[in-house]
Amino acid sequence: MALFALLLLLWGNLLPFSAAVPLQTLQQLIHQADADAATPPSSYTPLPPSLDPWYRPPLTYDWTQTSPGRVLKIRQSPLLNLTVGNALLAYQLLYRSTDSAYNPAWDVTTLFIPRWQARCSASTPNLCAHALLSYQLPYDTCNVDASPSFGLHFGEPYGEIADALGLGWFVAVPDYEGPLASYAAGVQAGHATLDGVRAVMQVAGLFGLRVGVAKVGLWGYSGGALAAEWAAELAVQYAPKMRIAGVALGGLTPNVTGVTEFLNGREGAGLIPQGLLGIATQHPDAYRWIVSRLRPALREVFLSVRRMTAAQAIAAFRYQDIYGYFVGGYADLHTRVMQMMYNVDGFMGYHGVPRMPVFIYNAINDELSDIRDVDELVDRFCGVGANILYHRNTVGTHTQELINGRQRAFAWLRSVLDGSYDQLYSSMGCTIQNVTYNLAPWVGWG
């Protein structure tokens, strides 16, 4: 690939690739990925992660001894640049990460290279990208086959990846729930997000990202905000050398038990079994407890969410009392083993303070999470020196705020990625505002 060869010569500021991967260099991995992608798209059918052997770490060396974020595999997708607008090329990276128990794990992220990067050359370095957005797509399910790296082959749900690529940013979309689809497990998601950035920054220079000056932003809404917020918290101790310019968070869910109580018996009740089984994949004792306490006649119905997307689970469990699936009802979800799980993975605000600017946008009438939990999280961070802009929207629901907050999130992200943040926003302390943005039509869960 001529573009690859040119950029390999052009960019000498590529982050060093450790000898921890002894058999192949990054250059060799990318060359092989490009050769494999020569298969015509018409004859290429992606396999879901549960069936695709590529979604497994290498067997030729001890990958667990590599450092977090180390790239283990690379492949080019012959379809993803067709299903996501404004993408020149798309690569998938399998990288070393760390689970909620701080054991070696692996994850996958999908890197999209913006179309205008084709203008990047040695004679026009000003046209080469200088920003990376890690975009945490909400997928809210304990079904690994609903991971973004697979689902994006069939289209992009919100158009935000294409819009970010249209601004000339590199965009990475991690499967932050990991190989076990650990939905709602905060530490797992935060580690996967941070390590995804590390992995991308190893290879992005080979495609023309100006890694020496590039700024990195994180963005997520709802389940995606869960991953991005935990990454912002954990960065201070897990990735202390990583420079993140800013984090945008919408539709936050700071308290996993509070979300469960909010959703039970309502339209989105199907997210409760998804969340319980997802977070418990990181806590085997809790997983065994959950399964053991399910009413025998209802056990398989409850466990069927492991094969569902979020939308399918919402449709299947709409308005149901999820506590009724358990022998002991509500009490079964608040035993010691469950509380230990929640304490590790379920409560934001206890693992570190974001060192980067943060933008939080939330509907006051959000039906998925109590706005008081978001207020409390902001107060906690503001009390110890965080720099936060917090918009409390007086109109709209959780679903509507995704649309109502999009333009503000993009504007804020542009400021942190182009260096104008200090001129447009307060760079000290917290700014908390009640706002009214009513752009979205009513949209249901379905």
> Which tens digits make up the pLDDT trace of 262-288?
999 999 999 999 999 999 999 999 999
In the residue annotation, 36 being an active-site residue is answered as no
Give the per-residue pLDDT at 123: 81
153, 369, 398, 415: the catalytic one is: 398
Is 420 known to be catalytic?
A: no
Angle between helices 186-203 and 26-36 (to 10 degrees): 90
For residue 396, how many other CB atoms are within 10 A of its CB? Answer: 23
Burial 104-143 (b: 16+ CB within 10 A, else e): ebbbbbbbbbbbbbeebeeeeeeebbbbbbbbbbbbbbbb
Instruction: Flag whether 63 is in a domain.
Output: yes
**Is 31 part of the annotated catalytic residue set?**
no
Query: Residue 36 above 80 pLDDT?
Result: no
Residue 283 lies in a domain: yes
Residue 45 pLDDT level (bands cut at 50, 70, 90)? confident
CATH code, domain carrying 232? 3.40.50.1820
111, 11: one domain: yes
Q: What are phi and psi of 350, to 5 degrees?
A: -120, 5
Predicted confidence (pLDDT) at residue 21 exceeds the cutoff of 80? no
pLDDT of residue 78: 79
Both 62 and 168 in a single domain?
Answer: yes
pTM: 0.92
Count CB-CB contacts under 10 A for residue 408. Answer: 18
pLDDT tens digits, one per residue of 374-394: 999 999 999 999 999 999 999
Residues 266 and 218 in one domain: no
Residue 43: pLDDT above 80? no
Which domain does 323 fall in, by range? Answer: 256-345
User: pLDDT tens digits for 185-209?
Assistant: 999 999 999 999 999 999 999 889 9
Could you tell me if 267 and 319 lie in one domain? yes
pLDDT of residue 41: 61
pLDDT in tens, 287-323: 999 999 999 999 999 999 999 999 999 999 999 999 9
Would you tell me how many other CB atoms lie within 10 Å of the CB of residue 96? 24
Domain membership flag for residue 207: yes
Does some domain include residue 442?
no
Of 201, 216, 244, which residue sits at a domain end? Answer: 244
Task: Among 319, 345, 371, give the residue marking a domain's end.
Answer: 345
Residue 42: is its pLDDT beyond 80?
Answer: no
Q: Give a yes or no: residue 87 inside a domain.
A: yes
Burial of residue 40 (CB within 10 Å: 0-12, 13-18, 19+) is exposed
pLDDT at 143: 98
395-431 pLDDT, tens digit per residue, is: 999 999 999 999 999 999 999 999 999 999 999 999 9
pLDDT of 126: 82
Q: 118-132 pLDDT, tens per residue?
A: 988 878 888 889 999
| Cα distance from N-terminal residue to C-terminal residue, the chain | 43
CA distance 270 to 265: 9
239 with 315, same domain: the answer is: no
Of the three residues 322, 345, 368, the one that is the final residue of a domain is: 345
Listed residue (114, 262, 139, 245) closest to 189, CA to CA: 139
Are 333 and 362 part of one and the same domain?
no
Mean pLDDT of the chain: 91
| Res. 11: pLDDT tops 60 | no
Q: How large is the average pLDDT for residues 327-350?
A: 98
Q: What is the CATH number of the domain that holds 271?
A: 1.10.260.130
**Is residue 444 included in any domain, yes or no?**
no
Residue type at 253?
T
Same domain assignment for residues 118 and 174: yes
392 and 325 assigned to the same domain: no
How many independent structural domains does the chain possess? 3
CB atoms within 10 A of CB 226: 32
Distance (Å, rounded) from C-alpha 154 to C-alpha 366? 29
Asked if the model's pLDDT at residue 2 lies above 70, the reply is no
Length of the chain: 446
Mark whether 341 and 207 lie in a shared domain: no
**Sorting pLDDT into bands at 50, 70 and 90, what band is 136?**
very high
Does a structural domain hold residue 352? Answer: no
Exactly one of 366, 373, 391, 415 is catalytic; which is it?
A: 366
Q: Same structural domain for residues 60 and 111?
A: yes
Closest CA to 195 of 53, 92, 69: 69
Tokens representing 252? 């936050």
Catalytic residue among 77, 147, 222, 369: 222
Domain annotation covers residue 445? no
> Do 235 and 322 have their domain in common?
no
Same domain, 50 and 76: yes
